[in-house]
Structure 1
Amino acid sequence: MKPSLIAIAITLALTTAAQAATIPGPTIPGPTTHAHELAALPNGNWLALDKTALRLLAADGTERAHLTVRAKHLDTRPLGNNTLAVIVDANAEQAVPILVDTAAGTLTAQAPFPAPAFGIETACLYRDAQQLDHLFLVAKDGQAEQWVINGEQRLPVRKLALPPHSKHCRADDTSHQLLISEEGAGLWAYNADAEGGPHREAVLLKKPYGTLEKGAGALFILPGGVAVLDAKGKQLHLLRHEAGKWSTVSATDTAIKGAEQLAVTTTADGKLQLAIGGEEAAGWQVRTPAWTATAPKADGKAIIMPRAQTEPVARTGDAADDPAIWRNASDPQGARILGTNKKQGLLVYNLQGKQLQLLEVGRLNNVDVRQDVKIGNRQLDVAVATQRDDNSVMVFTIDAQGTVATAGAFNTGLKNIYGMCLYRPADGGVEAFINDKDGTFLQYRIVADGDKVSGKLLRRFKVETQPEGCVADDRNHRLFLGEERRGVWTVSAKGDAPAKLDMIMPAGPQLVADVEGMGIYHGAKADYLVVSSQGDNSYLVMDAKAPYKVRGSFRVGYNLAAGIDGTSETDGLEVSSANFGGPYGNGMLVIQDGYKRLPDGPQNFKMVAWDDVARALKLD
């Protein structure tokens, strides 16, 4: 027998002859006889949680350290050469992080999480793709909270609604799923990543909808799957998660009365070992299941931190939509960010994200800006937006200080006006591409008769399904447009040219539908098209000239030091290569965030330094 199995048997302290017969090793009474939760640590060490203490045990079962506490819900993650553990103090109803130093043989309690407004029924850790540690706290009635650890800070991320009577949870860091055992129903998988919309799927339900007896009990994440006990601890189920689907690998009797917890470790030759037991089981048993699944590989997308964010919009739900950037010619840091609130109107922010103006002009959807353009007899800086209340196009002027004012509107005759973008042709005027949900595009020249603005229709073309985002490359007279479910097209931006559409990036693994906002960065050496890949909460960067080579993708993650969350389900974005000072000396990217976290709140816009994008993707 391998020493690791002897050590496990000693550490787990099996106490009955029937149990000893199933375990290749001795049974020795000790401090873990009544342990109700266990966690494997490096070099054969273990954490054991019993009624009176959390104990650090050596491979031979010797106690190396303990913290006197009445606690429950033990979970761990490696932390450099140490281990991060979290327990819930059952008296204070607070989650407490513990730093476990196996080399020194110490347990050090860290700053606790604030006590929630509910009793904690279960708790578990999650490490996201940015390698930040989160904690889920779940109440008996299904209330739940997600927190993130930042040194001594404990920051609220979001609130969740989970199944009632959920007594166990574990998070899979590779598939970014939160697995919840509902005692009377079964095992559910939720999205552990706070960025993005809520998602739930059934993993394994009780009879007659599945094979579980009475519901789900303790669970533990396996590479590429999960081990779960039924609610009574009678059967152990192993399930594989592959290609987005769950399948049962095996279901075996535990032969343990009162089994209520699981722990997992790996032998020196890479085999999984399952420890099954708990307080009511009067001991633990070790099993070595035949498990061949492997954890999915990370997609390798770079994660970039935002530098700033705007104040949230004044309406909840799906409100913020599309940003635009106005550059102050005399003061780089005096730029303005314009953003639409499609339940209210147009917002104007400074670079620090402070709201300076709100123009309550109705349900604006997309907005774009062009500066120093000729309309009638005047040179103007203008913003143009689509107005969904009456299917019109609204025109705004922007003065030298960045103050925005309404200038007029014109009707389009469209039934469901949606997206738009502006184009500055070679003669210095300004034109607008307007689209309808049915795929229709109208190209207008914006003209004026005195102070009255209107649109002169230049041409019309159509894609097969719903579009929204588009951007015009003024330098090269090209229009790029997104057909949400199909991909990115390009066409000449010239109003007198044939509207010959060419697909340059179909929706697929690199650009996951919906295809949404887009912008162009004009660099000194290259021009780049940035597109919102809404389906996987990422942003694709490709050359803005043929052959349209893909340069990479990135996500926007947390900036915990600044208290800013990442971005997800982005509708609109804008990018500029202008010098805006500070971190934005080589330009900036402004991104609509579909889910405001840290904590929950109405939607807003995030600001990203272009230098951070260029560095992450190794751009020229």
Structure 2
Amino acid sequence: MRISKLYLLMALASCGHVFASDLALVPWAPSLNAEAIAFLPNATERLAASPRDGLQLLDSKGAELARFKGNFTGLDTRAAGAQVLVASLDNDRQQALLISLDPSRNSFGKPLYLPTRDYPVNGLCLYRDAAANLFVFLVGEEGKGEQWLVGNGSTLMSEPQRVRGVPLPPSAQFCQVDDATQQLLVNEENVGWWAYPAHPEAEVKRTPVALFDNPKREAGAMALVPGGVVALDPKTAQLHLFQQNGERWVEHASLTLPGLKEPEQLSINGQHVLVRDDDTGKLYQGTLNWQAKPVTVEPVLPEVAAVRQTDPVGRQGDAADDPAIWIHPKQPERSRVLGTNKKQGLLAYDLDGKLLQELAVGRLNNVDVRPNFKLGAQTVDLAVASNRDHNSLSLFSIDRTTGELREAGEVPTPLKEIYGICLFQPASGELYAIANGKDGTFLQYRLSAPDGRVQGELVRQFKVDSQPEGCVADDQRQRLFIGEEDVGVWTVDARADQPATLTSVIKVGPQLHADVEGLALYQSHERDYLVISSQGNDSYLVVDAEPPFAIHGAFRVGLNATAGIDGASETDGLEVTAINLGGPWSKGMLVVQDGRKRMPEQTQNFKFVPWADVTRALKLP
């Protein structure tokens, strides 16, 4: 049985030994003048970018099939049905461009240019996410990097949208994105190669692929291969094959490029390799015979898009936290979304996300709403929020006709660090506030205002072992759901005269990722669901609100390219209603806090999602 030399090298490398071997290279297209080269996806044709000859489509022997005139460097491609989308840098205009290519007709389409940047762009690469959104990453000088939304599916946008800035190494020039693992790979010339999360909603962080402290080494171009990445070291004229093993990257083999003095460009398609020697300007091709271990890829969660978003909050950093939905008793379309700004106070928005009211009362964390509260002789709706400045409950009356909020009083608590809050209103009509502190303590207060002054009577106290926050009460079943951030979700009897016996709903694990944050109930005539913010993986889990609490799956809130609304991530609080609020909210509305506002980058806000889209995404009964 014949075993390839490189496969044997990789087997030995898995035991901790990396050996170098020569890669046999032969000249390719000797008359071609190209600064960058790339294989067409799943095809034998190649692309070249040249300052003199423009973008060229070439056959496997280097004969020109089509040309788009201009002065170009840098190349990346993505398949788009029968078309290929090409990204390159137009040196004359100093702009990145996207252009479609029809290989069957050997023709280029109309170019789409990104706006001119205020920094030199050294390189670029494409990324397609699980929802088929197409992005381009720009790699600039002095550590400047950007991510732009440029299309969806096979269609390019008429106007690209800047999604976010990405801080990159100061000497970066090359990048590649692995769509399957959603990782952006970038070089740092004198240091090594890095991996960044590519998803626009991901936290900005980096993981070393390979680092070195050796002036005789240099980190250059990269090419993706199944299960790994091949990185070029121009100084040693070697290719290094890396594969991810959990959180770490491991080098599996090294290949020397004999006869090349300054290899600069690299492209790989299956077993075929193209490399350019900058010393001579010549191109060479070779064949890789290697097999990589399959890399475990996280399952792709379905995505829904927000169709509205609120104005950004008026404070920087981690500010927006928890929403609540106030339902107008006669005109549901005039309902309001309340939101806390834990650096400022309480905010009220209309259903299009426009800010209507701002009550600067201090650092409010969580908020909840219930109707028909007797405030002296008046009947009002009531919003209650946890106030971290005073470790108290801040109460607000809501005019049932106009929706206007007014301060209605404060209930002190003995909690040292108040955190979450939710309300419970049984059929008998009394109103309870359940507050929790960071030490796990829960305090249940009966709220009343017989003479117009709000007061709270402590009627029950219980505790969980670690930090809680989110909670929501099922008024109909007199049941309370509470989240313990690193443990999971519990249910407990909400009645003040009953023992607080905890029953597990779901534990932190494969489907629910810590921190467990916001909890909300979707209650309709057909079915009741508990919606949980699974902050650790930027998703939302839907389970039955009744035992045995069957899991219906998780989803993410992705970007809405048409409306120019980014997705949601790092979500703290959320709220949902099944009430028909009109327009896109005929089956109800989900509101989630967005911890990372993109497109453009601004202070945090809240995203509004039609519940009908969640139903479709998860195929809810």
Q: TM-score, normalised by structure 1?
A: 0.92
The reply to whether residue 218 of structure 1 matches residue 221 of structure 2 is yes
Partner of 1:426: 427
CA distance in 2, matches of 1:301, 1:373: 41
2:602 partner SS: coil
1:514-553 map, 5 Å: 514-553=515-554
1:263-274 map, 5 Å: 263-266=267-270, 272-274=271-273
Shift of 1:109: 3.7
1:125-524 map, 5 Å: 125-150=126-151, 151-207=157-213, 213-232=216-235, 234-255=237-258, 256-266=260-270, 272-280=271-279, 282-294=282-294, 296-297=296-297, 299-374=299-374, 378-399=378-399, 400-524=401-525
- Identity across aligned pairs (percent)? 45
Aligned length: 591
CA distance in 1, matches of 2:576, 2:327: 12
CA distance in 1, matches of 2:23, 2:376: 94
Structure 2 counterpart of 1:547, which letter? Answer: P
CA distance in 2, matches of 1:172, 1:602: 29
The answer to whether the 8 A contact 1:213-1:231 is kept is: no
Structure 2 counterpart of 1:365, which letter? Answer: N
Shift of 1:293: 2.9
CA pair 21-245 structure 1, distance change in 2 beyond 3 A = closer
The answer to whether the 8 A contact 1:84-1:99 is kept is: yes
CA distance in 1, matches of 2:370, 2:381: 6
Shift of 1:70: 1.6
CA distance in 2, matches of 1:362, 1:152: 44
CA distance in 2, matches of 1:233, 1:588: 58
CA distance in 1, matches of 2:444, 2:375: 16
CA distance in 2, matches of 1:263, 1:196: 28
The answer to whether the 8 A contact 2:51-2:91 is kept is: no
Structure 2 counterpart of 1:175, which letter? Answer: T
Gaps of 5+ in 2: 1-21, 152-156
Moved more, 412-421 or 376-385: 376-385
What's the CA shift string for 1:116-175, capped at 9, x where partnerless?
Answer: 110101211111121111111121100111110142120010112111010111111111
CA pair 34-134 structure 1, distance change in 2 beyond 3 A = closer
1:521 partner SS: strand
CA distance in 2, matches of 1:278, 1:397: 73
CA pair 258-204 structure 1, distance change in 2 beyond 3 A = same
List structure 1 runs of 4+ shifted beyond 6 angstroms. Answer: none
Shift of 1:462: 0.9
CA distance in 2, matches of 1:293, 1:274: 20
CA distance in 2, matches of 1:542, 1:510: 11
What's the CA shift string for 1:239-289, capped at 9, x where partnerless?
Answer: 1113332111112222222111111112xxxxx333232443522131314
Partner of 1:562: 563
Moved more, 456-465 or 445-454: 445-454
Shift of 1:29: 3.3
2:221 partner SS: strand
CA distance in 1, matches of 2:34, 2:382: 73
What's the CA shift string for 1:487-511, capped at 9, x where partnerless?
Answer: 1111111111101111211111100
1:75 partner SS: strand
Structure 2 counterpart of 1:582, which letter? Answer: G
2:600 partner SS: coil
CA pair 423-325 structure 1, distance change in 2 beyond 3 A = same
CA distance in 1, matches of 2:375, 2:434: 16
Gaps of 5+ in 1: 1-19, 267-271
Partner of 1:54: 55
The answer to whether the 8 A contact 1:417-1:437 is kept is: yes
Structure 1 counterpart of 2:190, which letter? Answer: G
CA distance in 1, matches of 2:233, 2:445: 64
What's the CA shift string for 1:547-587, capped at 9, x where partnerless?
Answer: 00000111111111111110000000000111101111111
CA pair 28-194 structure 1, distance change in 2 beyond 3 A = closer
CA distance in 2, matches of 1:26, 1:170: 25
The answer to whether the 8 A contact 2:95-2:116 is kept is: yes
What's the CA shift string for 1:31-82, capped at 9, x where partnerless?
Answer: x354542333443111112231211012343211112222111011111111
Shift of 1:196: 3.1
